[in-house]
Structure 1
């Protein structure tokens, strides 16, 4: 079982369909199907069963999976360790963060990096999903949670209080909410993942049940845009609300948990020149603008 066969096997196991696996591998679906059939023939074992919801591993497939994951780990380690001694200020760096952090901090950092080192290409992925640095899905992450993996190096870039914000136009129409009324008579916009995670349904400690839930969004940038448009009130880290010209409602209140921003990379990559150069620009962007 060579590495090329292994990555195809792992893609089918993770994506559950040939079509999705082919997309992640940048291959056509027929090729993936043929390679899986050839692998099963070479091993003399059926690795997958076709179920109603896609491909499912057989008992032989489960056994093969353990070895395949070890092979993947070794391959990723080899690439990271090779990159770790790369002194060229050229090549690709993959970065993942949220859309608001990208707009305010990473895009200016990338611009400054390009002005000095034009041969470095930054692939920016703005997503709420936690991409794996250990599996080389990204080289650098700017996250709002500190990772637990001991192989990752994390540096806190910022810690901001989270307050309640509204636009001037909204407050002119509706007035300020009265504390203790659970937002009675007011329109609210919320970051939906917080509600989906079964957190207490409050904004800066005030219950929501008296208010009208206008929208739940999955993007911090869209949350900011809705509050700025006067659609409703919502929670934001203080620097974002202030940058958008919003009014902080109940300035004495903030959430129990602040908004932390962490810069994360794998320890094998910390000395790679192009990654180090981008990290330095990101750190500078937070120092100047946070």
Structure 2
């Protein structure tokens, strides 16, 4: 059996579509966030590995979970996160939920409807934000609702951006089957060089539903006490809103639907600055 370290793709947090532990996160909290990211990156690399069989992937994911819980052979990324969780007093459940999502990536290649997709996001995306909030000591009752909406939106944006690649390379289709059927589209269209009108209509519908999630998360930054984290959330919200508008009109099979580095920096900075300005004005009014 291949070692977990041998499945590494070489990707880092700097390769992600949205900020991960950027300079906005305070230095004392960046390390715990990166420990979580590195664990998740290892699990993601296992589930996406090009040559491993489904059974081999599941065995490695089980091994990663056992190492996290201190019940199996040592794995450096699991040990680092286990020690971080103990030091910060944060439960392992967020990481365990993500492992559930990665197992689902191995065993479930199609999603029936929007609710089915959101249930996947419950495990694949929402725990990431919840963990970051826990590390910052934020109030779950105030912050988890908008966090979940934003994290689900980010996940679905990634699915829409990479729908052709996911189908061609992994035979995964996250676009709900009922949405495709409603517009007369089939999964085989994802193998084409450009989307036919039926597929474009389905993607536009999903972009519209994602826009509604982002409307629910727009208040998120205002519910976060930590200013630096609030600014990071503001940057992510702005990037997501820009990308979902692009996806509502562009074709992810042939158009550029990822933000370039310059656009990434410009939009993210504007979003973070808007949060900072609101905080300054709020403090001024409260005096």
Structure holding more strand per residue: 1
Q: Same fold (TM over 0.5)?
A: no
Structure holding more helix per residue: 2
Query: Which of the pair has more CA radius of gyration?
Result: 1
TM-score by length of 1: 0.26
TM-score by length of 2: 0.26
Q: Which of the pair has the greater relative contact order for Cα pairs under 8 Å at 6+ separation? A: 1
